[in-house]
Amino acid sequence: MADLLSITQTIYLLATLTAVVASAFLWQYRNRTGAVTLLSLLGGLAIWNGSVSLVLVTDSVTVASLSLRTVSVGVALVSLMKLLFVLEYTGRERLLRPRIVGALAIPSMALVLLVYTNPGNLLYTTLEPATAGAIPITYEFGPAVALYLGYAYAVNAATTAMILKFLYRSRAVYRGQSFVLLGAAVAPWLAHGIYVLDLVAIDLMPIGGITSGILFTVAVVRYRLLDLMPIARDRVFDSVSAAIFVIDDTDRLIDINPEGHRLLDRVGDDTASPIGRPFQPLFAGTEFCDRYETLTDGRERTAVRATIDSSHFLLTGAPIDDDRNQHVGWLLIARDITDRTNRESKLEESNARLEEFATIVSHDLRNPLTVARGYLELASETGDNDGYFDEIERSHERMETIIEDVLTLAREGAAVTDPEPVALATVAETAWNGVDTGSASLAIDADVSIFADRTRLTRLLENLFRNSIDHGTESTDGAGLEIRVGTIDDSADDSFGGFYVEDDGIGIPACRRERVFEGGYTTDEEGTGFGLSIVDRISTAHGWTSGSTESETGGARFEFRGVDSAPDSSPTESASGADIEAELPRD
């Protein structure tokens, strides 16, 4: 018997010390959300187990009687604080208004009142000095204790159910926390239930208290429970497809949704559990990391754009406050807006083309229109209609040419979305047959198929051929001019790098090469200056880059890079130039 008493005393003393140590540790967090409630809970456990320890070790009837009554104070405090803490933790802060808290406190306050008054022997039917036994008093509980025990078990059942529901609805990153809290909530009452059912000879309640204290301490130390409570977590995470990150006020990641995990995978972070790690290093080397300070600077909602792994994101940062308006962290949301950004880019390109169209129409058409009006006035004044009307007709023809070129320029700017494999040599021959080439000749050294829009590629080559014939030689019919179409090899591995079109004519002065692709730029009074601009627009629409340089013979050379090669085309596609020429109608 003495050994059993000694073991029981030791167990209760350890339970008391555990609660005191945990309370001392949590004291440094007393200004944070939930700290006061959790401290009160641990304090109740300390009072409960400490009072039982005094009953077991004292020889004084008075001390033992007072300590026994104080046990009920600890029990009442534990029941109430457990309920308040779980309500707060599981996002039910709306129930913690003073009136509701007061109502919830009534059973515990009634128990404390009965402890020291015991009217009608409701709490103790017997409480008197013992004539024998290990403790100096003997006692029997009254009906009020049975009632409160039922209430305490109801509270325990309710808190356990709330944590189980939270555990079920929470994602994996919170479940370790919830299991710890569930164990802390159940342990004391499970231990007490075993004792009440007389399954063991020793009261296991202090073991339940030790377990509860350890688990609450683990919740704080391992899961940083008090740094950022799950404030209305379900309201934030449910039905959200964007990547969401919850950051505490020390810049550590506290929570993350599945989209957030996928985004971390994309940037190469292979950490099994990023929870608890500093946030910025998780996105090191990305614009998300660079924008982090902007997102968390101040107490206002902030939105910025960033490119992450070739995708465009809208990053939003919003402060998180608890019900006491205390700042506890940040909510960061990353929405993939790549499609929207692409649409905006296309709209900007369309607007730019429209502006270019308006500028050209208002500027370039003004000259021939002014000329036509001048000749019309002269014809009216002099009566010499024939000579002046010829000039007016030429002005009208020039305006028609400008309008056609401008419309072509606008159409060719649209991106190529469905390219097909085409044989470059075949398209070059088709384009050559569509241009008045005079006495010029064509050489093709391009046995390759590429992905392109056949119609637009044909127009690109036609414009280049026409440009060489019109500007590459002094002869009006291109006599003696050779135009060559060939492929460009990548200098790194001799793979296909693109294609070129060059001639052996007079070439383009180096000072003008950077301007040849500008809309309206021309050195010919009869030209519109849109031919090479259309070429550049078609190249850009394919995703290629275009450039002007000098050929080996000193002529003009136009290069197109970023072109994707395609598998060999079908036999029909690879038909000879003679076959194509025979099939095409000629003017």
Q: What type of residue sits at position 78?
A: V
d(CA 361, CA 363): 6
Contact of 322 with 93, CB cutoff 8 Å: yes
Contact of 303 with 296, CB cutoff 8 Å: no
Query: Residue 94 pLDDT > 90, yes or no?
Result: no
- Give me the mean pLDDT over the 221-242 stretch: 55
d(CA 274, CA 271): 6
Provide the token pair at 235: 């309201």
pLDDT band at residue 363 using 50, 70 and 90 as cut-offs: low
Residues in a beta bridge with 256: 245
Looking up tokens 């208004």 gives: 97
Domain 341-411 belongs in CATH node 1.10.287.130: yes
Burial class of residue 161 in the structure, from the number of CB atoms within 10 Å of its CB (0-12 exposed, 13-18 middle, 19+ buried): exposed
- Residues near 373 by beta carbon (within 8 Å), at least 6 away in sequence: none
Going from N- to C-terminal start, the domains of the chain cover 2-221, 233-336, 341-411, 420-583
Say whether pTM exceeds 0.75: no
- Give me the mean pLDDT over the 494-519 stretch: 84
Express each pLDDT in 27-79 by its tens digit. 887 776 667 888 898 899 899 889 989 998 999 999 999 999 999 999 899 88
Specify the DSSP class assigned to residue 270: -
Looking up tokens 């900007």 gives: 348
Looking up tokens 């050929």 gives: 551
- Give me the mean pLDDT over the 182-186 stretch: 79
2-221: CATH class: mainly alpha
Residue 89: the pLDDT is: 73
Just give the CATH number of 233-336: 3.30.450.20
Query: Residue 420 pLDDT > 90, yes or no?
Result: yes
- Give me the mean pLDDT over the 469-481 stretch: 77
Residue 386: the pLDDT is: 64
Task: Characterise 64 by phi-psi region: left (phi > 0), alpha (psi -120 to 50), beta (else).
Answer: alpha
Looking up tokens 């506890």 gives: 328
- Give me the mean pLDDT over the 87-94 stretch: 75
pLDDT band at residue 388 using 50, 70 and 90 as cut-offs: confident
Other beta carbons less than 10 A from residue 345's beta carbon: 12
Q: Give the phi and the psi of residue 524 in degrees, each rounded to 5.
A: -110, 125
Provide the token pair at 76: 């009442």
pLDDT band at residue 476 using 50, 70 and 90 as cut-offs: low
Summary mean pLDDT of the chain: 79
Q: Within 13 A of 111's CA, how many CA atoms are on the CB side?
A: 27
Provide the token pair at 130: 């013992």
Query: Residue 173 pLDDT > 70, yes or no?
Result: no
User: Which H, E and C letters describe 272-303, residue by residue?
Assistant: CCCCCCEHHHHCCCCHHHHHHHHHCCCCCCEE
Q: What does 444-495 look like in DSSP terms, one character per residue?
A: EE---EEEE-HHHHHHHHHHHHHHHHHHS-SSTT-TT-EEEEEEEE-TTT--
d(CA 238, CA 329): 19
Burial class of residue 570 in the structure, from the number of CB atoms within 10 Å of its CB (0-12 exposed, 13-18 middle, 19+ buried): exposed
d(CA 486, CA 464): 13
Contact of 47 with 81, CB cutoff 8 Å: no
pLDDT band at residue 364 using 50, 70 and 90 as cut-offs: low
Q: In what order do the strands lie in the sheet with 496-503?
A: 441-445, 482-489, 496-503, 556-561, 545-550
Contact of 243 with 333, CB cutoff 8 Å: yes
User: Residue 169: enclosing H or E segment and its boundaries?
Assistant: helix 143-169
Looking up tokens 């296309």 gives: 346
Express each pLDDT in 423-441 by its tens digit. 999 999 999 988 888 888 9
Provide the token pair at 29: 């967090």
Contact of 392 with 515, CB cutoff 8 Å: no
- Residues near 450 by beta carbon (within 8 Å), at least 6 away in sequence: 421, 422, 424, 499, 563, 564, 565, 566
d(CA 61, CA 69): 12
pLDDT band at residue 356 using 50, 70 and 90 as cut-offs: low
Residue 581: the pLDDT is: 39
pLDDT band at residue 467 using 50, 70 and 90 as cut-offs: confident
Residue 576: the pLDDT is: 40
Distances (CA, A) of 346 to 10, 339, 340, 342, 415: 77, 11, 10, 6, 9
Nearest to 421 by CA among 565, 218, 242: 565
Cα 254 from chain centroid?
16
Query: Residue 414 pLDDT > 80, yes or no?
Result: no
Q: How does 141-152 read in b/e, with b if 16+ C-beta sit within 10 Å? A: bbebbeebeebb
Indicate the fold that domain 420-583 takes in CATH: Heat Shock Protein 90 (3.30.565)
Residue 323: the pLDDT is: 53
Query: Residue 232 pLDDT > 60, yes or no?
Result: no
Cα 117 from chain centroid?
62
Query: Residue 246 pLDDT > 70, yes or no?
Result: yes
Which range of 1-5, 69-73, 386-390 scores highest in mean pLDDT? It is 69-73
Residue 583: the pLDDT is: 35
Which range of 205-209, 228-232, 337-341, 403-407 scores highest in mean pLDDT? It is 337-341
d(CA 438, CA 469): 8
Query: Residue 9 pLDDT > 60, yes or no?
Result: yes
Query: Residue 239 pLDDT > 60, yes or no?
Result: no
